[in-house]
Structure 1
Amino acid sequence: MKKTNDRPLAQNRKASHDYTIEETIEAGIELKGTEIKSIRRGSANLKDAYARVFKGEMYVYNMHIAPYEEGNRYNHDPLRTRKLLLKRKQIDKLYGISKETGYALIPLKLYIKNGFCKVLLGVARGKKKYDKREDLKQKQMKRDIDRAMKDRSR
């Protein structure tokens, strides 16, 4: 029996601030050599990463996976383009969505599931500056209410 570990090894925290996530989809990722060891160590960064369809295949760009220290000459290029493993129907659907104005495919999380590395892709729409300010106001108001309720219960 394989163990499931859905704890994120890398997370794109800025994505929820800059984008409205409308839908998520799980995808496998094709890794080479020492990349999985580096990911398990927690040396991955999704900050500026994005996904795109190229020649009928889905790829993730700008995902940084640091070289594995014990990997000597078999190490990988940290910013190389990596192929995502999706079914044809999923790729076609995401391609159609990404062609619409204002939508982007953003990797949200990188985690291990049943021994395989997975990426959680989000179909995202960019937020305007006033939307971001409104979200910050809502978050601050919720924090104030929670603080007041906590003080009241004492």
Structure 2
Amino acid sequence: MRPKPATFDKKKIVAENRRARFDYAVEQTFEAGIALTGTEVKSLRFGEGSIAEAYAEVKGEEVWLVNSNIPEFSHGNRFNHEPKRPRKLLLHEREINKMHGAVARDGMTLVPLMVYFNSRGRAKVELALAKGRKAHDKREHIKEREWKKEAGRILRERG
């Protein structure tokens, strides 16, 4: 098993779920391909698409991206796609088993962080295995983030 790169090769970010990192404590990230139709790819290339309220779920041996919105392509006529249809995510069986175990045992959630095109022009989803934060955890997270900013500012002033 070869080690995965720390960050994935992102060339063009289409949609980002910035709220996810605040609402969830991200444990591990995965890069997954998406099974798309032609008009969906064209729509994404124009920078349209949203994953703000999307999530992923493991059904049997497959992982599906649910509630993501890719609007219809303007010149798609009768070949157009349904904007909110569930989309299959392409992952290795080992990764799917790991996700299934974490969701079933540890009560974790599969949250899409962003949709992007890699250097080869393939549409990919960065998927996070995350644990939901409670309100007090979110406040703690904000305090920690503010303190890091403040510490950096103090160090810059003195150094």
Any idea what the Cα deviations from partners look like across 1:5-53, whole Å, max 9, x if unmatched? 5332111101100000000111110001210111111111111111111
Q: Distance in 2 between matches of 1:136 and 1:54?
A: 35
Q: Residues 137 and 5 from structure 1, CA distance in 2 versus in 1: closer, same or farther, beyond 3 angstroms?
A: closer
**In the alignment, which residue of structure 2 is the partner of 1:119?**
125
Q: Distance in 2 between matches of 1:150 and 1:87?
A: 45
Q: Distance in 2 between matches of 1:100 and 1:42?
A: 37
Higher relative strand content: 1
Deviation at residue 149 of structure 1 after TM alignment? 4.7
For residue 47 of structure 2, what is the amino acid of its counterpart?
A: G
Deviation at residue 151 of structure 1 after TM alignment? 5.3
**In the alignment, which residue of structure 2 is the partner of 1:143?**
149
Q: How does 1:41-120 map to 2 (within 5 A)?
A: 41-113=46-118, 114-120=120-126
Query: Is there any run of 5+ residues in structure 1 with no aligned partner, and where?
Result: none
8 A Cα contact 1:34 1:74, kept in partner: yes
* SS of aligned partner of 2:38: coil
8 A Cα contact 1:51 1:105, kept in partner: yes
For residue 11 of structure 1, what is the amino acid of its counterpart?
A: E
Deviation at residue 63 of structure 1 after TM alignment? 0.6
**In the alignment, which residue of structure 2 is the partner of 1:128?**
134
After alignment, is 18-27 or 70-79 more displaced?
70-79
Q: Are positions 1:16 and 2:21 aligned together?
A: yes
**In the alignment, which residue of structure 1 is the partner of 2:5?**
none
* SS of aligned partner of 1:44: coil
For residue 137 of structure 1, what is the amino acid of its counterpart?
A: K
| Structural RMSD (CA) | 1.7
Q: Residues 34 and 6 from structure 1, CA distance in 2 versus in 1: closer, same or farther, beyond 3 angstroms?
A: same
Tell me the number of residue pairs that the alignment of Structure 1 and Structure 2 aligns.
150
Query: Is there any run of 5+ residues in structure 2 with no aligned partner, and where?
Result: 1-8
Q: Are positions 1:27 and 2:44 aligned together?
A: no
Normalised by the length of structure 2, the TM-score is 0.85
Q: Residues 92 and 5 from structure 1, CA distance in 2 versus in 1: closer, same or farther, beyond 3 angstroms?
A: closer
Q: Distance in 2 between matches of 1:88 and 1:52?
A: 15
* SS of aligned partner of 2:76: helix
After alignment, is 56-65 or 144-153 more displaced?
144-153
Q: Distance in 1 between matches of 2:88 and 2:144?
A: 38
8 A Cα contact 1:102 1:126, kept in partner: no
